[in-house]
Amino acid sequence: MTERVPYLASRLQGLGTTIFAEMSALAARHGAINLGQGFPDTDGPAEVADAAVAAIRAGHNQYPPGPGIPELRRAVAAHQARFWGLTPDPDTEVLVTAGATEALTAAVLALCETGDEVLTFEPTYDSYLAAASMAGAVLRVVPLRAPTYDFDPSDLEAAVTPRTRLLLLNTPHNPTGKVFSPAELAAVAELCVRHDLVAVTDEVYEHLVFDGRHIPLASLPGMAERTLTVSSAGKTFSFTGWKVGWVCGPAALVSAVRTVKQFLTYVNAAPFQHAVVTGLELDDDFYRQLASGLAAKRDLLCDGLAKAGFIVHRPAGTYFATVDIRPLGADDGADFCRTLPGRCGVVAVPSSAFYTDPAAGRHLVRFAFCKQDDVLVEAVERLATL
Ligand SMILES: Cc1ncc(COP(=O)(O)O)c(C=O)c1O
């Protein structure tokens, strides 16, 4: 059978989601605490859920407009202005997508020709390699160096070629939890301007920042006119299953993404689009409490991981923490994660899934802390038995 698997599909099969599915299956088999896949174990704000129910009852159940309902495009534009001082035109510079994933993939498909190169930092969220593969483009990676996850600007410069078309930046960054600093962002922006690159930024963790602050790349000089800013409701409102995302940027680029989206999903999530308007209009307290609540969970998990003997790379944002497993006498994260549920009833994922060269992240493992406090306390107690 395998020789009949089409070429593209067989290339995508090895990517991260495969190992995530394996780890989730292990979690189920062992009744283990699943700190592998990154989704919250509680729902988001009740008023947002109520708004979804109300939208279904009100009959918002047919295809919404192609770019997304006007109310949501206006709410996204207002959010960009309120938090980041960006002023996209809701009519031409905002597009609603099926999660950030569709926005990112459609952007790569829209803007890359076969053989073009997409520049990004590694480790990377696994959908970037898949999106580049689907476009026939090549993903070129610049290493973020553990444990600080800084990068060498000369590596970034050296990775640019005449075929480089896009720079794909994820900040705050999955899996490392890094929040790119103002100086790093300035270096990235300067490179994009100098080489006339389009930037696509994945900012799904924009409100999950504990140390430092989130700065959208689009807000840097020369970047608004060349940046597509992507985010989604999944992480901010803890409704990852609704798959409501958006992309903002110059009208010509957004229109190109929309052309591709039209043939991927056409439109998506009509009633949830209405509910996300309610979410985006929540007051500043909601956003503050989201970050402070997760910061406490980060501390709880990271302190526990350190006590269990791991070297912890404490994240500045997101809901993921990476550890170096070598002090526990292991150096292969995939093997370690496969045996962890049986040894102590906790599931994590090997960071090698986020590297094009798995050897690079071999000794690293990622834990998610978007879980209830008592679940994290129990996980930490179990890990202490290692
Ligand atoms: C960096 C990053 N980008 C995008 C996504 C996917 O977002 P969505 O569920 O909105 O498609 C995730 C989800 O884990 C992520 O970690």
Q: Which of 144, 168, 203, 235 to mutate to test the pocket of ligand 1 (most atoms within 8 A of CB)?
A: 235
Q: How far is the CA of 349 from the centre of ligand 1 (A)?
A: 16
At 244, give phi and psi (nearest 5°). -115, 115
DSSP-assigned letters across all residues of 20-86: HHHHHHHHHHHT-EE-SS---SS---HHHHHHHHHHHHTT--SPPPTT--HHHHHHHHHHHHHHH--
pLDDT in tens, the chain (386 residues): 455 656 777 777 766 667 888 898 998 999 999 999 889 999 999 999 999 999 999 999 999 999 999 999 999 999 999 999 999 999 999 999 999 999 999 999 999 999 999 999 999 999 999 999 999 999 999 999 999 999 999 999 999 999 999 999 999 999 999 999 999 999 999 999 999 999 999 999 999 999 999 999 999 999 999 999 999 999 999 999 999 999 999 999 999 999 999 999 999 999 999 999 999 999 999 999 999 999 999 999 999 999 999 999 999 999 999 999 999 999 999 999 999 999 999 999 999 999 998 889 999 999 999 999 999 999 999 999 99
Nearest CA, atom 14, ligand 1: 38
Q: How far is the CA of 246 from the centre of ligand 1 (A)?
A: 12
Which token pair is 58? 């009100």
Query: 19, 39, 7, 11: which is closest to 351 by C-alpha?
Result: 19
CB atoms within 10 A of CB 18: 13
Which amino acid is located at 90 in the chain? P
DSSP character at residue 98: S
DSSP character at residue 260: H
DSSP character at residue 231: E
Which atom, in ligand 1's list, is nearest to the CA of 101? 11
- Ligand 1, pocket residues at CB < 6 Å: 38, 99-101, 125, 170, 174, 202, 204, 232, 234, 240, 243, 245
Q: Contact, 102 vs 264, CB < 8 A?
A: yes
Q: Which residues on neighbouring strands pair with residue 33, listed in sequence order? A: 346
pTM of the model: 0.96
Q: How far is the CA of 106 from the centre of ligand 1 (A)?
A: 14
Query: 84, 36, 116: which is closest to 345 by C-alpha?
Result: 36
Reported in sequence order, the residue ranges of 55-184 that DSSP labels E, i.e. its strands, are 94-97, 117-122, 138-143, 164-170
How far is Cα 61 from Cα 41, in angstroms, rounded to an integer?
27
